[in-house]
Structure 1
Amino acid sequence: MPHNLPVKLGNSLETVSSARTDVVFPLPPIPEGLAAVRRRAARAMQQWRIPSDLADDALLVVSELITNAVVHALPPASLCLSRQGGRTACAVRIEVTDAGPALPRHHGGSPRQPEESGRGSAIVAALSARSGTAIYQGGTTRWAEIQ
């Protein structure tokens, strides 16, 4: 399910917040810019006082989902993090929305070895309480909930 928050997409890494403890980050269209998004996601979870083991798992899922969007999907793309739960229960919902799958690229030179890619879905499934994909006209949202 795509988030319903206004997002200024582009090369900016501005954060848009809502009353529901959601934070939205536009994703830069190049893999080199994703480290800044991961750092901002880590700061958001630190401010929410997410336990470090939960935050570590959530950051790994964030990394997998945002890399997938930038490498394999059409821009624009955005990351939405949501803190869920009360004082005793805590969960993080991660949503990455993009404009749908990109056309397959021809990789010149040496092809990637199978062990170098293709494990993202398994990592997300292993670390998530729930995860899924919503495909709709004009885009795709991949989401995961970490508890």
Structure 2
Amino acid sequence: MAEEPSSVVVRMWPHGPRSVGRARRLLIRHLAAWDLAHLTDTAELIVSELVTNSVNHARAPHGRLIATRFERVESGVRIEVHDADDHKPERREALSDEESGRGLALVDALTNGRWGVSERLGVGRLVWAVCAEGGTEEALG
């Protein structure tokens, strides 16, 4: 009898650009194991944006790691990115000639507004988003 895949996956990553692709690949593997492969394209964009924001904007002390936490929820996956930065990222409207600044607006659109920033125990913050087919009130928090 096959063992059920864990409904929560936590991984620590170095604070660097290679971690974006690695986190994305880890999420894709677990979406398949959770029978959520149909959410892959959207979830992949969300985790890429959140980890990239952490790598680019979190002013983490040297040596601090980034953590991802993926949780299987009733109709999708809750994606969390934890880092050592205390600054709260905010969604903004980028000007048409700006090369960046659209990441959280994209996350907001892809999740129908089901994302946010929460405090965490110890130093830093966690940014979360729910990628799901429909509303998952229990995943918000």
Question: Does TM-score exceed 0.5, indicating one fold?
Answer: yes
SS at match of 2:101: coil
Spell out, residue by residue over 1:16-41, the C-alpha distance to the aligned partner (whole angstroms, 9 max, x if none): xxx86011121221102321221111
Structure 1: 4+ residue segments shifted above 6 A:
none
Structure 1 unaligned residues grouped into runs of 5+ = 1-18, 103-112
Amino acid at match of 1:134: S
Pick one of 88, 93, 99 that aligns with 2:84.
99
Q: Which is further off, 131-140 or 63-72?
A: 131-140
Identity %: 39
Q: Distance in 2 between matches of 1:64 and 1:114?
A: 20
Q: Specify the alignment match of 2:67 in structure 1.
A: 78
CA contact (8 A) 2:86 2:123 kept: no
Deviations 1:103-122 (A, max 9, x none): xxxxxxxxxx9532111110
Deviation at 1:81, TM superposition (A): 0.5
- CA deviation after TM superposition for structure 1 residue 45, in Å: 0.7
SS at match of 1:97: strand
Unaligned runs of 5+ in 2: 88-95, 133-141
Contact 1:27-1:66 at 8 Å conserved across structures: no
- Partners of 2:18 and 2:97 lie apart in 1 by 22
Q: So what's the TM-score if we normalise by structure 1? A: 0.69
Alignment of 1:49-88 (within 5 A): 49-52=35-38, 54-73=39-58, 74=60, 75-85=64-74
Q: Which residue of 2 aligns with 1:107?
A: none
Look up the SS of the partner of 2:98 in the other structure: helix
